[in-house]
Copies of this chain bind each other. A is one copy, B any other.
């Protein structure tokens, strides 16, 4: 039976003194994330855990009092996966931000979940090491959040997603049990891979309290940059396909369509209309970077791209800036719903055509950048009003977009996660049998459904 909120708060204060905050502004900020979605009601408290023992104590109280628990990192999620509402405890990992170990010999580090990806990578860089996951949010998002959402980014086609960059996790279960999953070794096949199961589980199975991360040597040397303008998005997509089919593996391949270029032109005053109606940004890295960039350029030009290679920092910055200005330029146009479909790489042109068709039919602007190397598009619906209040018409258009992505063999979400934003569509992708099995796995870890309720599953 659920205990009274005051009793729960009192128990929390006794168990983890000094970590329990009930100030109205703090509770209010825990209701939302960068998706602009708000939970209904406010959490009863935000608890700032400082240790594994703190997390265990909070979980035990939640379990014993049947109080729902929502774990949060920096609150930068884009799917409402970490928003805490009425009657819930918000458990923050922000104060658990220590680096516990860095080992060059084992190419690993051990960290607490609340450290920011960018802060960690600055420390690693001093040792010539690198943790590859690179969500656009990396300077403001936590490693724990990256793990909870299996974060992607620009470099995934070459360097993999978060799942490929985690060796082991310590996880606190809802009853306070501390579980150690995965291996400190590169290989390990003892039993089911619960470490992989945890990654991307969005706080619904347990709370990640420590992570052993797989590192790479920092990539050294010059990074040539190519900025290519095309007459159509189809040509640009064909260039990407040709690059991949030629066995080339750029570090990043970022695509922008006409409406995104127009937004950037309006925002920056750059004359992009005369340059082209689609833009492809490519960077190569590693010991063969320049030769690889030259081979990429051949493919890009053969596909009709007007392009050049530069290794000059200023010229490269200008090329990169066209892409980087995309988000502020779109934000200047109105409220945004940032979507996240991924399709097989050879269906990208079709996906762009479907997006254009949906934009026309619903009379809505949908600028769409893509991590083209891995077929991950971010169709961004622009509308009047507030991001926290997406109009039904926009949701209808988004629903058609999801359906188009699934029809093309793709997925609802490449890297942002399901959260509350896409839970209504999850069953469409998984099918009934898998949806049922996923819910039963949830019940193995969290039989009472106290961890992040309403996220991922639900309608």
Contact = CB atoms under 8 A, between A and B. Distances in A.
Name, among A128, A156, A444, the residue most crowded by chain B CB atoms within 10 Å (CB to CB). Answer: A444
A426 B191 CA distance: 8
Interface in A415-459: 415-418, 422, 426, 429-431, 433-435, 437-438, 440-442, 444-445, 456
Contacts of A287: 286-288, 291-292
Contact of A180 (B205, B245, B431, B441): B431
B342 A185 contact: yes
Contact of A197 (B173, B192, B442): B192
A189 B149 contact: yes
A190 B431 CA distance: 12
A192 B105 contact: no
Interface string A356-395: 0000000000000001011110000000000000000000
A287 B292 CA distance: 10
Contacts of A248: 217
A37 interface: no
Interface stretch (A26-34, A260-268, A406-414): A406-414
Contact of A191 (B190, B193, B456): B456
A438 B191 contact: yes
A441 B193 CA distance: 11
Contacts of A413: 188-190
A132 to B, nearest CB: 13
Contacts of A456: 191
B426 A437 contact: no
A410 B441 CA distance: 27
A161 interface: yes
A417 B342 contact: no
Name, among A343, A431, A437, A440, the residue most crowded by chain B CB atoms within 10 Å (CB to CB). Answer: A437
Interface string A246-289: 01110000000000000000000000000000000000001110
A184 interface: yes
A161 B187 contact: yes
A185 B440 contact: no
A114 interface: no
B430 A106 contact: no
A344 B415 contact: no
A11 interface: no
A207 B342 CA distance: 27
A183 B205 CA distance: 21
B415 A187 contact: yes
Counting chain A residues whose Cβ lies within 8 A of the other chain, the interface size class is 35 or more
A329 B231 CA distance: 64
A345 interface: yes
Contacts of A183: 342, 410-411
Given A105-B241, A249-B217, A441-B444, A429 B190 contact: yes
A192 B203 CA distance: 11
A245 B104 contact: yes
A441 B191 CA distance: 11
Interface in A174-227: 177-181, 183-194, 196-197, 199-201, 205, 217-218, 220
Interface string A334-347: 00000000111110
A60 interface: no
A244 interface: yes
Given A200-B193, A287-B287, A187 B245 contact: no
A454 to B, nearest CB: 15
Contacts of A181: 434
A144 interface: no
Interface of A: 103-108, 128, 149-150, 152, 156-157, 160-161, 163-164, 173, 177-181, 183-194, 196-197, 199-201, 205, 217-218, 220, 241, 244-245, 247-249, 286-288, 291-292, 342-346, 371, 373-376, 409-418, 422, 426, 429-431, 433-435, 437-438, 440-442, 444-445, 456
8 contacts: A161-B186, A185-B344, A186-B342, A190-B430, A192-B201, A192-B442, A193-B196, A194-B437
Given A106-B345, A179-B431, 11 more contacts: A106-B344, A183-B411, A185-B376, A185-B410, A187-B411, A187-B414, A190-B426, A192-B441, A194-B438, A220-B247, A437-B444
